[in-house]
Structure 1
Amino acid sequence: MGQIYGVNTQTYFRLPEEDRQAIRQSYQAQAQPQADNDDAPTVTLAATTPVEATTPQQAVQAIHAMPVPDNSDLAGMPSYAASSVYESRAQTYNQTRLDAAQAALDRLAPQRSDYDSLNGATASYEYGQATQYFDSNLYVQELRRIVDEAGTQPNSIPTYLTDTPPSADPQSVPLPQMQGALALLGVELPANATPDQIAAGYQILATVPDDMLGTLINPGSQVTYNTGAGGISTPSFIPVRGEAGVTVEGKVELSDVQTGVNFEQTQQFRMSVQTQGEAGIDFGRTPIGTLYKWADRLGQLPESVRALSDSSPVLSRIVRGLPVSGSYHEFSGARLTYEAVVTPQQGAQLADGELEAAPNPLAPLDMPTGTSVLIRGQSLEGSTWEASYKAFTAGGTHTELDGLGFGVRRLEGSMVEVYAGPVQTVENEMFLGLGRQGTAAIGIASEYKSETQDMSIARIDLSTSEGQAAYQQFMSSGRVPDWTPPGVPQAGTTSIYTGEHASFIGVQLGGLEIGGSSDSQLTVTRTTWQDGSIEQRNTYALGDNHVSDVSFSIGADGKPIDAQTQWRVVLGNYDPALTSYLSDAYNGDASQPSSYGSFDGGQHVQLSFSSAELMQLRDQARDSVRELQGQDKLDAIDRDPVVAFGMEESLAAATTSEEVYRVVSNDFYQSQMAESLLGMSLQTGRGVPGQIAIRDAG
């Protein structure tokens, strides 16, 4: 559809003449700086441009220094016209950032031709190492984030690049985003909405808390809103101030894609609404104290005011405030949480704001296999504190939640798993550094969450009428079948413990983080079926690309079923050269050609073992150590396992299958595992025990 002066043509000619004149003037003012140079770019780069950058860090700094379009001239326009102009400017600005970041990535990335002077295998290895180092560079990751951000959100300018706070003016929200935000609130605008209907839509949006306007969720990020619902406080001029209030907080987050057992790729999607009442105290410098300090520094403080303040201890304390500022609050309330495990395809839809892609327990057979949903209703209580001295800041939050949860997991075929029961959660957050967390700070942040679920559980076959009736009863009453009638093959109880830890060290500027981060999750699930048999699964995920998984069963007679015990390690996006080493180690036939060079790009690798195969791996390691270093070295390791150095010797020192697996699954050995296992295979002349599965990560 055509545009005139950056506005939809039909919209432009429906406007009154005075509005059309304002749009013309705004458009001409925006274009004026380029009048003397037709070839000038729409957005002028900083003095050091991305083209001149010789390192990823310089490229990031140059891109973030690009001037943001000035939209102050849109204030007097009708909202729908201003939205169209804003969107056009944002698209141009974001495309410039995307092109600059992508060009920097292409230019600065290692080139295979740089290693042509080396022999083929060495050149490939060195090029792979250089590429891996380049990919791990934090500024390279930031350039890729800019490309993704500018490509997926082309119609809006990131708030962390503007001088305004992250709260938004509803009238400045582009029309498509306004329609999406209203849809989340249950209000659907017609496809061909009239100007009056659009204006009414913006009026509705104006009643929503500002922070809720961030409705677009991207993988690895979250959007929150927090609004007060009333409260009281003591006057602000008192150094120690008490206050009480009620707040409503919402959060929506979508995790990155994680590769799990059998290369199952999933994401976690969470939505929560929390209502809480809180009371506490704030202490520190007062507004009067701030004015007093700057007036004194600028030499504008009258002597009469200084004398009056110094003559009264009470007034002096009020004016000067306390040397340390901070707060302590206690709160209680309730939280409702919707948590789903989704496929990457569903995650992409959710990232586009299509909430209908989330798993729906009312339509369980429409849920993809492996996806699940858990809904919790919990009461909460906790406390939060913060203390600052000069530029130093420390703070923390402790929250305890107790309530009930129920959920559905889609299994193979027509089978679903339902569960319900009490849920207890503990959350802790901590920050230590310079500045203010969430605004502009440098320091260390850590979050830890532990949760225990004690659920009744049942597996229901929805291909049978009895199973359908049992599922409907569960949905209407929340009661899980506690026996196995027709349509319910299994029933029992399950206990699930989950521990999540995330840490960050680096710089935070609004929504931008530059630094190092680490996150991990431990899940222990123990299910006891009605016949007395037990299934247990322990899963530990470190980041998105390293998963350790152990599953075992105990029969109804109380004896372990060794044949059902499985030990797995999943290495996501593994280096292609190292993947070839692992492949050759499992092949074990030195007469066959090496697989080196047969893998292109990152690979997903899964190693699987039985308990017996783990002990065979230990024996192979001992044979390799003996042949390379002699029996004396092996005896020394047996006498004191502490002297074991490296993966091979650590395997030789193990005495149980659990200890062998602890070495194999240790992420510390992730990069050297391939070379160690290949060396053992070549030294002993036999393949590594166990199974290997490889899938291209692309």
Structure 2
Amino acid sequence: MVDINGVRAQSPRTLPAEEPQAAPQPETPASAPAADTAAPAAAAAKPKTAEEAATPQEAVQAIHALPLPRRDDLAGMPGQVASSVYTPRVEAFNATRAEQAQAALDRFAPQRSDFAGLNGATASYEYDNALTAYQSNPYTQELQRIVDEAKAQPAQVPAYLTAGQSTTNVSSLPLEQVSSALGVLGVKLPANPSPEQVQSAYELLGKLPDEALGWAMNPGSQVNFSTPVIGASTPSLIPARVGGDVRVEGEVKLSQVQTDVNFQQTQQFEMSAQMQITGSASFGKTPLNRIYGWADKLGVLSPGAKSLVESSPLLRNVVKGLPIPVSASAETFTGTRLTYQATVTPQQGAQLAKGDLAVAPNPLDPMNMPVGTSVMMRGQTLEGTSFAASYKLLNGETTHTELKGQGFGVRRVDANTFEVYSGPVKTVENEMFLGIGRRGLISAGIGVDKSADTQAMSVARLDLRTEEGRAAYQNFMSSGQIPNWSPPGVSQSGKSEIFNSDHVASVGANLGSLSWMQEINSSHLTINRTTWQDGSIEQTNSYTINNDHSSEVSFKLGADGKPIEGATTYRVMLANYNESLTSYMRNAFDGQGAKPKSFDGNQHVQLTFNDSQLMQLRDIAKDYLDKTGRGDLPGMIRAGSAASNDFEVKLAMANTPGEVFAVVSNDFSRNFMAENFLSMTGLTGQSIPGQMVVRDAGN
């Protein structure tokens, strides 16, 4: 039995409590006299203005509800004339927002006089606590943000007030996702649907209730599989065989501990259930062939029995095998796979390794997910092929699988912020094994697994301290809808294009149905580009090799598409770094005048740079080469005609910050970079620019 339990038709169990500043909600009576309900619905309580608000939350809601500046009466006017009328309206609108937000901040802020009845020390202590709580209130922070944005962009209406529909509203979904969601419900669109069919597909999906819509869009949210296996095939005594069966397979994986940038240590935990229909064909040695061969060698077959076998071509092939030394088999398969994939802490990984699944990240219990952990569930269809062949003791196998479907997930960004995402996922997997021995009996060799997936995710960041954030999270859990950008509850929302690539090389052995593999080399690449609803872009490119060497480049673009100055960050993590090399690196960054430092045991070392620091490092390398008297090399570097694999020469030859970082972050530079940096500092008198942070590796 394989179970992957999900979130369908359930509610989050543990969300933060209401903010203490929020106004208490009166209880609604179970029933009320008819006379009390006679008033028309139109007489409902008028929404409060910012001046009437009793809490920062009510003030925020009132300010966000202010009517937007009119522009419908400007249609037909020349552009400059319309702008001259509309711009003052926007400026007045922002001035009103800023004025009301600042007034609310001043009105709700605790005053020292509120504690005048206490003695001096106690009064100061209570006042400081009240001020800290007030300043950390998310609605207070939103009021301050309204003031700041109105001052920074007085002639622009905030984009979240004019944003369109929810990023995962059915009408805004790509056709591919609509088709996949309907496929879960058994409705299949043709390959080239007509406009009428497309319209009907969107209409049908839009009419689904929340529970059904959430399940259709996120089919990995819940699955329970048992394992009956059926199949039919040619008997195994026939040298050339065909067959087909239905397989249900379960798999659990736990990776090694990986130290990422910012010293975050994680492991990848994955459970998957796969059901596939397989067709196969094979030829070669059969068990009967091997039994006959050994019987012949041991002399237990009579001459009459051997003569009888040799006289029949059919019986000869069945018993002795085909007259070629090669055995091979091929399979094609289709099916479905549902996957639970999580990023966990090493502590959670240790519990998972013992079989304790209770510690696995649960999106229904978000507040118990440690910061930095995440969970993603996928429902995908699959199709693929596999091929295996052997020649004497040499054997090899290869499998190619393509999957497509939907994924959804949750990541805890910090103590209060959670990122939710949902969208199409396409995956390609290739597995290869080459070894010696007998397939199906005993063999040993090397395996290489490669995979790549592309994700087109709608994404939002929610603040679960707020009532709005909790409501948006609950709606995501029940319907799969990514909420629209609406601070403070939804601080950001947009679209993420994500590419992941993994490569793992292992050595291992097979004994019958048992297998053992030991990882010898691995790498992981992620490119994540997010376009937020205000038009700004954030992109992070990260690369990890062998779980102990990571690099990351992150940058931001404004809504105008131009890079934001100072927003590009380069990081390299040297995990489990040698203590002597750490000492050299520390001394190089601290400079000649600093007291040399030493370390006890391996260290985690993170180096952080910006654009100007990397170019400064390039200039230090040039200065170092000038002072070492390397003949014509410095001149050749400046002329662009130099060629060398030396670390300091490659630094000096770099033309851009990215090229400098490519040298620094290359894992081949890992074991001699510290010594080179120390030499450069010693000869030039300049410390290495950038930031170096060290943490004990604990080993």
So what's the TM-score if we normalise by structure 2? 0.65
1:480 aligns to 2:468 (yes or no)? no
Q: How does 1:220-231 map to 2 (within 5 A)?
A: 229-231=229-231
Aligned to 2:499: 497
d(CA) in 2 for partners of 1:660 and 1:430?
A: 36
The offset of 1:544, in angstroms, is 1.3
Residues 1:622 and 1:462: Cα distance change in structure 2 (over 3 Å): same
Query: 2:615 touches 2:657 (CA, 8 Å); kept in 1?
Result: yes
d(CA) in 1 for partners of 2:606 and 2:641?
A: 28
Aligned to 2:298: 298
AA at the equivalent of 2:300: Q
Q: 2:466 aligns with which of 461, 464, 467?
A: 464
Residues 1:641 and 1:494: Cα distance change in structure 2 (over 3 Å): farther
Query: 2:578 touches 2:601 (CA, 8 Å); kept in 1?
Result: yes
d(CA) in 1 for partners of 2:569 and 2:315?
A: 72
d(CA) in 2 for partners of 1:558 and 1:439?
A: 60
Query: 2:571 touches 2:608 (CA, 8 Å); kept in 1?
Result: yes
Query: 2:570 touches 2:661 (CA, 8 Å); kept in 1?
Result: yes
Per-residue CA distance 1:608-631 (angstroms, 9 max, x = gap):
000111111011001101110246
Aligned to 1:388: 390
SS of the equivalent of 1:585 reads helix
AA at the equivalent of 1:445: G
SS of the equivalent of 2:585 reads helix
Query: 1:278 touches 1:331 (CA, 8 Å); kept in 2?
Result: yes
d(CA) in 2 for partners of 1:438 and 1:265?
A: 38
Aligned to 2:132: none
Aligned to 2:556: 553
Q: How does 1:126-165 map to 2 (within 5 A)?
A: none
Query: 2:587 touches 2:594 (CA, 8 Å); kept in 1?
Result: no
Aligned to 1:314: 314
SS of the equivalent of 1:682 reads helix
Query: 2:454 touches 2:497 (CA, 8 Å); kept in 1?
Result: yes
Query: 1:431 touches 1:437 (CA, 8 Å); kept in 2?
Result: no
Per-residue CA distance 1:150-179 (angstroms, 9 max, x = gap):
xxxxxxxxxxxxxxxxxxxxxxxxxxxxxx
Residues 1:662 and 1:678: Cα distance change in structure 2 (over 3 Å): same
Gaps of 5+ in 1: 1-224
Aligned to 2:693: 693
SS of the equivalent of 1:621 reads helix
The offset of 1:571, in angstroms, is 0.3
AA at the equivalent of 2:655: T
SS of the equivalent of 1:238 reads coil
SS of the equivalent of 2:566 reads helix
1:564 aligns to 2:567 (yes or no)? yes
d(CA) in 2 for partners of 1:594 and 1:440?
A: 56
d(CA) in 2 for partners of 1:651 and 1:436?
A: 51
Query: 1:637 touches 1:644 (CA, 8 Å); kept in 2?
Result: no
Residues 1:524 and 1:617: Cα distance change in structure 2 (over 3 Å): same
How many percent of aligned residue pairs carry the same amino acid?
52
Q: How does 1:85-234 map to 2 (within 5 A)?
A: 229-234=229-234
d(CA) in 1 for partners of 2:361 and 2:536?
A: 30
d(CA) in 1 for partners of 2:591 and 2:274?
A: 57
1:678 aligns to 2:667 (yes or no)? no
d(CA) in 1 for partners of 2:505 and 2:615?
A: 36
Aligned to 2:6: none
1:611 aligns to 2:614 (yes or no)? no
Residues 1:608 and 1:634: Cα distance change in structure 2 (over 3 Å): same
Query: 2:508 touches 2:516 (CA, 8 Å); kept in 1?
Result: no
Query: 2:425 touches 2:455 (CA, 8 Å); kept in 1?
Result: yes
Per-residue CA distance 1:243-301 (angstroms, 9 max, x = gap):
11111111111111111111011111111111111111121112332222112212222
Query: 1:226 touches 1:247 (CA, 8 Å); kept in 2?
Result: no
SS of the equivalent of 2:534 reads coil
Aligned to 2:400: 398
The offset of 1:314, in angstroms, is 2.7
SS of the equivalent of 2:562 reads coil
Q: 1:421 aligns with which of 418, 423, 427?
A: 423
SS of the equivalent of 1:563 reads coil
SS of the equivalent of 1:370 reads coil
Moved more, 499-508 or 452-461: 499-508
Residues 1:376 and 1:527: Cα distance change in structure 2 (over 3 Å): same
Question: How many residue pairs were aligned?
Answer: 470
Query: 1:641 touches 1:653 (CA, 8 Å); kept in 2?
Result: no
SS of the equivalent of 2:595 reads coil
Query: 1:569 touches 1:606 (CA, 8 Å); kept in 2?
Result: yes
Aligned to 2:648: 648
Q: How does 1:555-634 map to 2 (within 5 A)?
A: 555-589=558-592, 591-595=593-597, 598-630=598-630, 632-634=632-634
d(CA) in 1 for partners of 2:418 and 2:471?
A: 13
Aligned to 2:328: 326
Rg larger in structure: 2
AA at the equivalent of 1:536: Q
Query: 2:508 touches 2:515 (CA, 8 Å); kept in 1?
Result: no
The offset of 1:313, in angstroms, is 2.7
1:517 aligns to 2:520 (yes or no)? yes
d(CA) in 2 for partners of 1:425 and 1:621?
A: 43
d(CA) in 2 for partners of 1:367 and 1:250?
A: 25
Query: 2:618 touches 2:660 (CA, 8 Å); kept in 1?
Result: yes
The offset of 1:444, in angstroms, is 2.4
The offset of 1:508, in angstroms, is 6.3
Query: 2:586 touches 2:692 (CA, 8 Å); kept in 1?
Result: yes
The offset of 1:506, in angstroms, is 6.5
Aligned to 1:351: 353
d(CA) in 2 for partners of 1:630 and 1:250?
A: 61
AA at the equivalent of 1:542: I
SS of the equivalent of 2:586 reads helix
d(CA) in 2 for partners of 1:437 and 1:261?
A: 42
SS of the equivalent of 1:562 reads coil
Query: 2:605 touches 2:693 (CA, 8 Å); kept in 1?
Result: yes
Query: 1:429 touches 1:448 (CA, 8 Å); kept in 2?
Result: yes
Aligned to 2:243: 243
Residues 1:690 and 1:388: Cα distance change in structure 2 (over 3 Å): same
The offset of 1:672, in angstroms, is 0.3
Q: 1:446 aligns with which of 445, 448, 458?
A: 448
Give the CA RMSD over aligned residues: 2.0
Aligned to 1:537: 540
SS of the equivalent of 1:444 reads strand
Moved more, 477-486 or 228-237: 477-486
d(CA) in 1 for partners of 2:307 and 2:697?
A: 73
Residues 1:292 and 1:413: Cα distance change in structure 2 (over 3 Å): closer
SS of the equivalent of 2:414 reads coil
Query: 2:548 touches 2:576 (CA, 8 Å); kept in 1?
Result: yes
Query: 1:429 touches 1:445 (CA, 8 Å); kept in 2?
Result: yes
Aligned to 1:266: 266
The offset of 1:488, in angstroms, is 0.9
d(CA) in 2 for partners of 1:429 and 1:638?
A: 46
Per-residue CA distance 1:294-332 (angstroms, 9 max, x = gap):
122122222223223333333322222132212111111
Per-residue CA distance 1:94-115 (angstroms, 9 max, x = gap):
xxxxxxxxxxxxxxxxxxxxxx
Aligned to 1:31: none
Residues 1:444 and 1:585: Cα distance change in structure 2 (over 3 Å): same
The offset of 1:641, in angstroms, is 5.8
d(CA) in 2 for partners of 1:226 and 1:251?
A: 14
Query: 1:453 touches 1:497 (CA, 8 Å); kept in 2?
Result: yes
Residues 1:265 and 1:287: Cα distance change in structure 2 (over 3 Å): closer
d(CA) in 2 for partners of 1:642 and 1:256?
A: 41
AA at the equivalent of 1:307: S
SS of the equivalent of 1:695 reads strand
So what's the TM-score if we normalise by structure 1? 0.65
Q: How does 1:40-79 map to 2 (within 5 A)?
A: none
d(CA) in 2 for partners of 1:338 and 1:669?
A: 37
Per-residue CA distance 1:529-581 (angstroms, 9 max, x = gap):
00100000001000111001000000011100131100000000100000000
d(CA) in 2 for partners of 1:642 and 1:274?
A: 55
Gaps of 5+ in 2: 1-224
Moved more, 428-437 or 519-528: 428-437
Residues 1:440 and 1:568: Cα distance change in structure 2 (over 3 Å): farther
